[in-house]
Structure 1
Amino acid sequence: MPLPYDMPDAPEVLDRREGPYGEVVLRRHGKLLQIIANGCFLMDTSDGRSERLLVEAARAALDGRAAPRLLIGGLGVGFSLSHAAADPRWGGITVVERERAVIDWHLDGPLAAFSGPALADPRSTIVAADLLDYVHETRDTFDAVCLDIDNGPDWTVTEGNGSLYSPAGLAGCARVLRPGGVLAVWSARPSPEFEGTLRNAGFQQVRTEEIPVARGVPDVVHLAVRPG
Structure 2
Amino acid sequence: MPTSYEIPEVLDRREGPHGEVVLRRHGELLQIIANGCFLMDTSDGRSERLLVDAAREALDDRPEPAVLIGGLGVGFSLAHAAADPRWGRITVVERERAIIGWHREGPLSGLTEQARSDPRTKILETDLVRYVNETSDTFDALCLDIDNGPDWTVTEGNSGLYSDAGLASCARVLSPGGVLAVWSAQPSPEFEETLWNAGFKQVRTEEIPVARGVPDVVHLAVGPG
Q: Do structure 1's residue 33 and structure 2's residue 40 form an aligned pair? A: no
Give the equivalent residue in structure 1 for 2:84: 87
Q: How does 1:66-85 map to 2 (within 5 A)?
A: 66-85=63-82
What's the secondary structure of 1:202's corresponding residue? Answer: coil
Q: Which runs of 5+ in 1 are unaligned?
A: 1-6
How far apart, CA to CA, are the structure 1 residues paired with 2:42 and 2:156? 24
Q: Say which of 104, 113, 138 aligns to 1:141.
A: 138
Deviation at 1:171, TM superposition (A): 0.9
Q: Which amino acid in 1 is paired with 2:92? A: V
How far apart, CA to CA, are the structure 1 residues paired with 2:146 and 2:84? 22
Q: Do structure 1's residue 122 and structure 2's residue 119 form an aligned pair? A: yes
What's the secondary structure of 1:160's corresponding residue? Answer: helix
Percent identical pairs in the alignment equals 79
How far apart, CA to CA, are the structure 2 residues paired with 1:99 and 1:166? 23
Larger deviation, residues 155-164 vs 59-68: 155-164
Deviations 1:153-174 (A, max 9, x none): 0111322111111111111110
Q: Which amino acid in 1 is paired with 2:41? A: D
Point out 4+ residue stretches in structure 1 off by more than 3 angstroms: none
How far apart, CA to CA, are the structure 2 residues paired with 1:154 and 1:97? 20
What's the secondary structure of 1:213's corresponding residue? Answer: coil
**TM-score (norm. length: structure 2):** 0.97
Conserved? CA contact 2:144–2:181, under 8 Å: yes
How far apart, CA to CA, are the structure 2 residues paired with 1:146 and 1:175? 15
Deviations 1:32-56 (A, max 9, x none): 0000011111100000000000000
Conserved? CA contact 1:37–1:158, under 8 Å: no
**TM-score (norm. length: structure 1):** 0.95
Give the equivalent residue in structure 1 for 2:11: 14
How far apart, CA to CA, are the structure 2 residues paired with 1:173 and 1:78? 22
Deviations 1:127-153 (A, max 9, x none): 110001111111110000000011010
Q: Say which of 132, 147, 152 aligns to 1:150.
A: 147
Q: Which amino acid in 1 is paired with 2:42? A: T
How far apart, CA to CA, are the structure 1 residues paired with 2:134 and 2:156? 21
What's the secondary structure of 1:140's corresponding residue? Answer: coil
Q: Which runs of 5+ in 2 are unaligned?
A: none
Q: Say which of 190, 194, 197 aligns to 1:193.
A: 190
Q: Do structure 1's residue 184 and structure 2's residue 178 form an aligned pair? A: no
Deviation at 1:8, TM superposition (A): 7.4
Give the equivalent residue in structure 1 for 2:166: 169
Conserved? CA contact 1:205–1:225, under 8 Å: yes
Could you say if the C-alpha distance between residues 191 and 8 of structure 1 is closer, same or farther in structure 2, counting changes exceeding 3 Å?
closer
Q: Which amino acid in 1 is paired with 2:133? A: H
Question: Superposition RMSD on alpha carbons, in Å?
Answer: 1.1
Q: Do structure 1's residue 217 and structure 2's residue 214 form an aligned pair? A: yes
Q: Which amino acid in 2 is paired with 1:87? A: D
Q: Which amino acid in 2 is paired with 1:127? A: L
Q: Do structure 1's residue 132 and structure 2's residue 129 form an aligned pair? A: yes
Q: Do structure 1's residue 54 and structure 2's residue 51 form an aligned pair? A: yes
